[in-house]
């Protein structure tokens, strides 16, 4: 059975490119173009991994989605999917002209499994997805 990936990014062209590559590599892909839609589809689709952009309907939409997914408050509507691995995609380094790393992201946003800065090579993203899923 193919692993299911939820791909959430407001860049429609990038979503299509990544989705095609993931499908080619045997993944089943569900797409969303906003954090709000991504959270809804997360509950419906129950993916094995989420690839989530940071800056969508707001500059912090992806961070806010991670906080909701990983919330320890009870009851959490995302409790059943709270442990799904998350890879953040971001152009924050380009936008801010500052370096931003996985360690920095994890320091204020626990629960991030990996962090990929745009632009990136699709093979690198697929390698990271495979690595995280192999650990799961």
CB 55 within 8 A of CB 61: yes
**Token pair for residue 60?**
């912090």
Per-residue pLDDT, 97: 45
Q: Which two tokens stand for residue 65?
A: 């989605």
CA atoms within 13 A on the CB side of 33: 7
What CATH code would you report for 4-135? 3.40.50.2300
21-63 pLDDT, tens per residue?
Answer: 999 999 999 999 999 999 999 999 999 999 999 889 998 899 8
For 75-118, what is each residue's pLDDT tens digit? 889 999 999 999 998 875 444 444 555 455 555 566 788 888 88
CA distances, 23 to each of 5, 43, 95 (Å):
10, 21, 30
| 19 or 59, which is more confident | 19
Prediction pTM value = 0.88
User: How far is 65 from 37, CA to CA, in rounded Å?
Assistant: 10
Burial of 29: CB neighbours in 10 Å, binned 0-12, 13-18, 19+? buried
Q: What is the pLDDT at residue 109?
A: 62
Three-state helix/strand/coil letters over 25-77 = CCCEEEEECCHHHHHHHHHHHCCCEEEEECCCCCCCHHHHHHHHHHCCCCCCC
Which pLDDT value is given to residue 107?
A: 54
**Taking the domains of the chain in order of start, what are their residue ranges?**
4-135
């Amino acid at each position: 059975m193919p692993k299911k990936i939820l791909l959430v990014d407001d860049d429609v062209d990038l979503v299509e490119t990544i989705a095609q590559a993931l499908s080619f590599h045997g993944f089943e892909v569900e797409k969303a173009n906003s954090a709000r839609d991504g959270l809804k589809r997360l509950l419906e689709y129950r993916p094995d991994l989420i690839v989530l952009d940071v800056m969508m309907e707001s500059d912090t939409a992806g961070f806010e989605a991670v906080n909701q997914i990983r919330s320890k408050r009870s009851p959490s509507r995302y409790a059943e999917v709270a442990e799904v691995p998350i890879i953040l995609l971001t152009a924050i380094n380009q936008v801010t002209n500052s370096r931003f790393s996985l360690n920095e992201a994890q320091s204020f946003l626990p629960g991030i499994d990996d962090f990929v800065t745009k632009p990136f090579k699709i093979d690198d993203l697929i390698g990271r997805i495979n690595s995280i899923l192999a650990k799961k």
